[in-house]
Amino acid sequence: MELPDGFEFCTAKTEQDLEDLLEFNSKVHEDDPKELRRVIKNLPGFGLDMNYFIRDVDKGMIVSAMNAIPSTWAYEGVPLRNLELGWVGTLKEYRKRGLVRSLYSHFDILLRDGKYDISVIQGIPHYYRQFGYEFILPLGRRVTLGPHLIPKISEGTEAPFMKLSVREAAESDLDKLIRLYDNHNQRLLVYSMRSRELWEIQERFKKEFESDFTTMVVEEEGRVDGYFRYSLSKGAKDEPQDRVLHVSESSVTSYNGVMRVLHHLRQEALQSQACRIELVGPDQNNLCRMAQDLGGKALAWWKFQIRIPDIVSLLKKISRVLEKRLKGTMFHGLTYDVMLNTHRNCYLLRFKNGKITKVQDLGMQETGDRREFRAPPNELAKLILGDYSIDELNRANIDFLVDGRIRSLIQTLFPKRESCIAYYMC
């Protein structure tokens, strides 16, 4: 690692390193230091030694830092090992000296040596393109709904869904929560996997980043029909127009369950004087669907920035998913060499009788007979992760080209699908 004179690279090892790191992050990010301390101490697979920094030797202080946070996501059920680039920052007076680039060279070693499938960051726009990241999957897609849009129950009437009860989740509910979460994710392409250990940790701390949440269940005659997590955001001045009831995740299986939860949220919003309810989730999420049916609006949302460090490795890992997509289509039992040319690399995806028998990087290839599929590298990543259709990619970038002879095949292998990443820290 190359550093300017007067600086040294360090990996956090001691409690003093941790305290110095927390103090640094509170300056750069204005974070509550409790959050990073909690994650370092409790997140499975993460620890102090996955935090590293550059120190000004003369002043003896940290001036730039980042960390590497592991988690497990999934691609249509196939686990993907993710290494997140987190808490990246540099003191203002030390910027534009290449310190983050130096730190990233260490992160890149961790990424490759650890054989991670993807790397994500929730960061500022454009900057991380220099490291190969691209905006791909939705981050916090949400529907906003005014409490007044949830119909009141007329006096003297008894709505069937009000027979269901809503209560705070107990430890004995955990198996049911895990099942509801996993069933919800089965409809998605990419999602975050949550182990029982992580569930237990999250329910112990009840924190999503810096916000406190409460996990609630809705049940009918003792049978749990769904759950949701919510918190009240009061804004800096704690005025009614700034108060938002925030539902960070949910999985409710029935119409009556959905309506019961919405009426519970309506009551909570009115009692807390919240001006609106925000529900995070994909279009397929039942609460989000009903909220939109009642007049709620889907908001524009941010995206994760994602890098795939090894396309060949990823294609091999998801090969059984690709094979499954051909079954029952006109490509069932296909024998064909698919060439995915990204100008820098050309990836061979060899099918024989519907099975992938070879995945290989052929290196840079002249277009010639490798011209059926041509796309910039990051556009291929967008296609694989299902965030965009072929037409959308072509409209956004004229350099994305798919020959008509394999167009339907590419659409079958890499369809546009909905993804949603629920909270995966603690």
- Among 43, 123, 85, 120, smallest CA distance to 419 is for 120
Listed range (120-129, 248-257, 337-346, 368-377) with the worst mean pLDDT = 368-377
Q: What is the mean pLDDT of the chain?
A: 96
Buried b (16+ CB within 10 A) or exposed e, 74-107: bbbbeebbbbbbbbbbbbeeeeebebbebbbeeb
Per-residue pLDDT for 155 more than 90?
A: no
Is the Cβ–Cβ distance between 176 and 226 less than 8 Å? no
pLDDT in tens, 163-210: 999 999 999 999 999 999 999 999 999 999 999 999 999 999 999 998
Backbone angles phi, psi at 383, to 5 degrees: -70, -45
Q: Classify domain 7-138 at the CATH topology level.
A: Aminopeptidase (3.40.630)
Task: Select from 3.30.1330.60, 3.40.50.970, 3.30.1050.10, 3.30.930.10 the CATH code of 310-413.
Answer: 3.30.1050.10
Position 365 pLDDT exceeds 90: no
CA 24 to chain centre: 26
Residue 230's DSSP bridge partners are 214, 247
Supply the DSSP string of 184-229, one letter for each residue. HHTT-SEEE---HHHHHHHHHH-EETTEE-EEEEEEETTEEEEEEE
Residue 296 has pLDDT above 90, yes or no: yes
**pTM for the complete prediction?**
0.95
Burial class (CB in 10 A: 0-12, 13-18, 19+), 240: exposed
Give the model's confidence band at 368: pLDDT under 50 very low, under 70 low, under 90 confident, else very high.
low
Tell me, what amino acid is at 80? Answer: L
User: How far apart are alpha carbons 207 and 213 in whole angstroms?
Assistant: 6
Alpha-carbon gap, residue 82 to 280, rounded angstroms = 22
CATH code at 142-300: 3.40.630.30
Question: Given pLDDT bands bounded at 50, 70 and 90, which one contains residue 158?
Answer: confident
Domain residue ranges of the chain, discontinuous segments joined by +: 7-138, 142-300, 310-413
Tell me which residue has tokens 């007329």.
Answer: 154
Please tell me the predicted confidence (pLDDT) of residue 225. 97
Intrachain domains 7-138 and 310-413 with the same fold: no
